[in-house]
Amino acid sequence: MIRRAVPNDVARLADLEADNLGQDAWSAGLVAAGVAGDLPTITWWVAEVDGVVVAHAVASVVADIAELQRIAVDPTHRRTGLARELLAEVGSVARAEGADRLLLEVREDNSGALSFYADQGFVEIDRRRRYYRDGATAIVLRLPLVSGCG
Ligand SMILES: CC(C)(COP(=O)(O)OP(=O)(O)OC[C@H]1O[C@@H](n2cnc3c(N)ncnc32)[C@H](O)[C@@H]1OP(=O)(O)O)[C@@H](O)C(=O)NCCC(=O)NCCS
């Protein structure tokens, strides 16, 4: 089940961040602020399996551009379509809010995520050098949310 995150999810989400994003993980404080709605334009979603939160996605929408800031699935639940479901929900909400494209940055060495995004129809539009803390390059990807966009 996909739903919006609530304050009760924060501890679990901070764990999922640490487990899945390593040194790029957001702190519990930042997770709490985002889930509480204290960060303008930011929305958090979770995916639950048997009542346990096992995946999350974070996106912001500003006018015609949506940005996917996070998507992560607990390793034991990968390749079961959860990221696909989360992304569909993000895209649908972003489109309803007026976005015509979804952008994101992904580490150039994250081959699993790159395969997922390619499968979902994202295309590379740019690269950002030294984007991550360890100096790794980010690949900028775009997914059209409406026909005729890019
Ligand atoms: C990338 C990630 C979110 C994908 O989540 P997922 O729930 O396993 O993805 P899905 O099951 O929805 O996959 C949908 C399709 O994407 C492709 N795909 C997903 N993961 C893949 C992988 N590791 N290798 C190759 N293709 C992959 C496949 O085509 C898959 O369909 P299939 O399983 O029927 O072959 C997950 O691997 C993850 O959490 N990684 C760590 C966090 C991360 O790097 N997030 C992105 C940067 S913030």
The predicted model scores a pTM of 0.96
Residue range of the domain that includes 44: 2-144
Residue 61 lies in a domain: yes
Is the CB–ligand 1 distance for residue 45 below 6 Å? Answer: no
* pLDDT band for position 149 (cuts 50, 70, 90): low
Mutational test site, ligand 1, from 74, 116, 119, max ligand atoms within 8 Å of CB: 116
CA of 9 to the centre of ligand 1 (A): 22
Residue 150 lies in a domain: no
pLDDT, position 107 = 95
Residue 139 lies in a domain: yes
Residue 121 lies in a domain: yes
Residue 149 lies in a domain: no
Note the pLDDT tens digit of each residue in 43-81.
Answer: 999 999 999 999 999 999 999 999 999 999 999 999 999
List the CATH number of the domain containing 90: 3.40.630.30
Number of independent structural domains in the chain? 1
Residue 49 lies in a domain: yes
**CA separation, residue 79 to residues 37, 55, 75, 85 (Å):** 30, 12, 9, 11
CA of 115 to the centre of ligand 1 (A): 7
Asked whether residue 150 carries a pLDDT value surpassing 60, the answer given is no
Is the CB–ligand 1 distance for residue 7 below 6 Å? Answer: no
Note the pLDDT tens digit of each residue in 85-97.
Answer: 999 999 999 999 9
Residue 17 lies in a domain: yes
